[in-house]
Each structure stands twice: as C-alpha cells, then as structure tokens.
Structure 1
Amino acid sequence: MMIAPEFVGKRLEPVVLRVPRERVVAFARVIGEVGAVHWDVEAARAAGYPDVVLPPTMLFGLELEVRGEELLVEMGLDPLRVLHAEQSFTYHRSVHAGEELRFESVVADVYRRMGGRLEFVVQETAVYRGGEHLVDLRQVLVIEDEETV
C-alpha cells in the first residue's frame, strides 16, 4: 500500500489536556526516574519549579494516549502492521504537572525505502502552554508494504 503524498502537510486536530501530578509521579516511578523533581513536589518547588516536572518521554505517551490510532486509520493503515521506528524531543522549557498543554501535530513527511518495501511516516508535534512553545516531538513510523512482501 502506498500512502498518498497529499498526507504530507496534513494537520491533525489540536489536542488539549491537563496532566495530574499523580500521573507524572507514577510515570517517573515506573521508568525508574531518580531525579526527585519528577516525583517529589517539595523537591521540585525547592528547585524553582511550580510542580513536579514531566520526565522527557512522558509527552510521547500522552500524545499516543489521546490520539490513539487516529492518523493511521485516516491513512488507511492497519495499526498491526505499523512499527514505531524513532522518536526525539527538543525541549525549550520544562513541563509541569497540572498545566494545560496543547498538542499541535502535522505529517511532516512520507517516504519509501528498500525498493518501496518500507514506507515511513514522520509526524511532528509542537507542545504549548498557553502561547508558550515548550517542546517539539518527532516520531517516525514504519509500515511494511504487504503488496511487496
């Protein structure tokens, strides 16, 4: 299956969410985060933050949770044939529990490799707090073309 090139530049509906402190603390503990600013509100405040700081990879999970398979379904892709190939984060500011975050995503690129057998979808997301740009997320998904297998 070839993904239509018109998906490049497609903007997804923005998503707004607020992250409860309990979720941040639980995530930090599960991944073994040792920095107290991620799970101890007093340590975070002593370090000058308004609340616990989200561990860097938490935003990716939050976006996946609220968007689910929306983009894949719209592209006509079988989510069971999609692999998560890459992710990156560029932080401009720290993100804290209790803040209202806005995720604005775009399909930045679609391309093929290995003689067309693998197709890649690049999604870029900017995360905002109010009008303040906090983080840029980038993920690359890979799909094996079932017609070339």
Structure 2
Amino acid sequence: MIAPEFVGKRLDPVVLEVPRERVVAFARAIGEDAAVHVDVDAARAAGHPEVVLPPTMLFGLELEARGEGLLLEMGLDPLRVLHAEQSFTYHRSVHAGEELRFESVVADVYRRMGGRLEFIVQETAVLRGGEHLADLRQVLVIEEGEAA
C-alpha cells in the first residue's frame, strides 16, 4: 500500500530543451504528418517560431527525464506498474528549441476494486519561462501485493 504522505509530494522540477530533429523524428514515428510538426518553413508560415511538438510528446519527454525515481521511492517495482490514463490541456503551442520546465505533484493516491487496485495521479505543469504552456495528468495503476 502506498503511504498517504505521498499525496501532495512535489517532484524535483525537470528542465530540458528539445532539438528540432527530435521533434521531427517523434512526429514521423507516430505518423503525425501535419507540416507544422515536421517542416520549419511550414511552421513559420503558420505563425510559429519553430516546429510544433505533437501533443503526446510532452508525456514521453517527462517520462524519459524522470525515469523510475518516484516509483522506486514509493517502494514500487516499475515493471509492475501500468499506465492507465493520460490527458493534456494545452494553453499555448510548444516549439522545438524552447527551454521547458516540468513541475509535477502527486495529486492523489486512491484504491478501487475492493482495495485490490491502487492508483497514483500525477499532475504536471509545463512552463516556458513564466508562461504556462500545458497541463499533463497521468494515472498509474498497481495491483495490490505488487509493492517491493
């Protein structure tokens, strides 16, 4: 069982910059062929300073940057944790080459199915300077008895 003191826990911020080549490769890998994601001239013609990150890319960037640290701190085996849900709310476009700051908090931990399943809700604000770009929300699920 995950200790209730994890609710409200703020994770160390993650700061990163995503090069254009990486955005283009990600867009192509997921089959996103809109020109603003793969062609800088098309992005600029559409009023953007650089290619635009596809919406789901922020999730992958945060996952890669954070690794398994929170799960290990909670006493969980990362191989036994399932990703149950993900949502995105965009306030502004996100572009290649921008310095992004991910500020995350464990928003909730709760149980369902008679206590058999435990859920972890993580909410993340993505910022560029002081500008709020997007909100990410992910829900992870762990079957009881899977804690390390």
Normalised by the length of structure 1, the TM-score is 0.97
Task: Give the residue type in structure 1 aligned to 2:54.
Answer: P
Q: Secondary structure at the match of 2:36?
A: helix
Alignment: residue pair count = 146
Residue 110 of structure 1 deviates from its aligned partner by 0.1
Give the unaligned 5+ runs of structure 1: none
Corresponding position: 1:60 with 2:59? yes
Map 1:46-85 to 2 at 5 A.
Answer: 46-85=45-84
Task: Give the residue type in structure 1 aligned to 2:85.
Answer: E
Q: Secondary structure at the match of 1:54?
A: coil
Task: Give the residue type in structure 1 aligned to 2:4.
Answer: P
Give the unaligned 5+ runs of structure 2: none
Q: Which residue of 2 aligns with 1:12?
A: 11
Corresponding position: 1:130 with 2:129? yes
Corresponding position: 1:28 with 2:30? no
Q: Could you list the runs of 4 or more consecutive aligned residues of structure 1 that deviate by over 3 angstroms after TM superposition?
A: none
Residue 81 of structure 1 deviates from its aligned partner by 1.0
Corresponding position: 1:45 with 2:27? no
Corresponding position: 1:144 with 2:138? no
The 1-side partners of 2:41 and 2:116 are apart by 52
Deviations 1:34-58 (A, max 9, x none): 2100000000000000000000000
Q: CA RMSD in A?
A: 0.7
Residue 19 of structure 1 deviates from its aligned partner by 0.3
Normalised by the length of structure 2, the TM-score is 0.97
Q: Secondary structure at the match of 2:79?
A: helix
The 1-side partners of 2:62 and 2:80 are apart by 20
The 2-side partners of 1:57 and 1:45 are apart by 21
Residue 23 of structure 1 deviates from its aligned partner by 0.3
The 1-side partners of 2:79 and 2:30 are apart by 25
The 2-side partners of 1:51 and 1:34 are apart by 16
The 1-side partners of 2:15 and 2:78 are apart by 24
Q: Which residue of 1 aligns with 2:117?
A: 118
The 1-side partners of 2:107 and 2:14 are apart by 18
Q: Secondary structure at the match of 2:121?
A: strand
The 2-side partners of 1:137 and 1:5 are apart by 22
